[in-house]
Amino acid sequence: MDSTKARLEVRDWGRTRYPDALARQKAAVAQRQAGSVPDLLIFTEHEPVYTIGARWGSSKHLIWDLDRLAEEGIEVHETNRGGDITYHGPGQLVGYPVVSLRERRDLHAYLRDLEEVLLQTVAHFGLSAARREGKTGIWIEDRKIAAIGVAVKTWITYHGFALNVDPKLDHFAGIVPCGITDGSVTSLAHELGQPLALDTIKPVVVDAFRKIFFQSREAPE
């Protein structure tokens, strides 16, 4: 058996409401703490939702009023992940790694590794993305294509990343995404000029995740 694959279990929850997914994440964290499951990479695609992160003042970046939110079918939920307000919805690949950092205990390095996974994923499709100084996430010039917001409990991670594959970009107009005032939001489909299915992206993310988080740290026996 491939020892790398044995150390990472990939789960696909399909379409979920954000509160349900958060409850399931917390249950997965408890399982990981107890050692009853290996490290997990969980995929989901949320029903339309704005999530308000733990950063002070995040709620002020919600633009649309209740009537417009109801018209667009978008829920709003507060969450304990890091970062500002963001949007999740159909066409966006959300990844929730539930992995142990007990041996590393370096949250900054973990965030950089998540960014590297996304950089490699975007590069796989022939696009050049990069980090921006002082900002978390992945960008194509001044257009944000992936957001990251994490939390840690006893050095077990949850929350994670959201890669814009082919979401309804108009829904980002209801917020100041991640508090950004000097850029815009984009997607793989928009940059490539063609529709993309999430199922074509997931294997690329899994391969990059295994490479960054496992293969690069495995010592030869």
178 is catalytic: yes
Query: In terms of C-beta density within 10 A (0-12 exposed, 13-18 middle, 19 or more buried), how is residue 173 classed?
Result: middle
In a domain, 115, yes or no: yes
In a domain, 39, yes or no: yes
Structure tokens at 166: 């082919």
pLDDT digits (tens, 9 = 90+) for 13-40: 999 999 999 999 999 999 999 999 999 9
Structure tokens at 128: 């050049």
What number of other Cβ atoms are within 10 A of residue 105's Cβ? 10
In a domain, 136, yes or no: yes
Domain count, the chain: 1
pLDDT digits (tens, 9 = 90+) for 92-148: 999 999 999 998 888 999 999 999 999 999 999 999 999 888 777 899 998 999 999
Model confidence pTM above 0.75: yes
The domain spanning residue 148 has which CATH number?
A: 3.30.930.10
In a domain, 189, yes or no: yes
In a domain, 221, yes or no: no
Query: pLDDT confidence of 3, banded at 50, 70, 90?
Result: very low
In a domain, 74, yes or no: yes
Query: pLDDT confidence of 178, banded at 50, 70, 90?
Result: low
Mean pLDDT, range 168-187, rounded to an integer: 79
Active-site entry in 41, 129, 148, 178: 178
pLDDT digits (tens, 9 = 90+) for 44-76: 999 999 988 777 667 778 888 889 889 999 999
Mean per-residue pLDDT over the chain, rounded: 88
Determine which helix (DSSP H) or strand (DSSP E) holds 65, and give its type and residue range: none
- Cβ atoms of 198 and 165 within 8 Å: the answer is yes
In a domain, 161, yes or no: yes
pLDDT at 29: 97
Pairwise CA distance, residues 162 & 141, whole Å: 18
Query: Domain limits at 23?
Result: 3-216
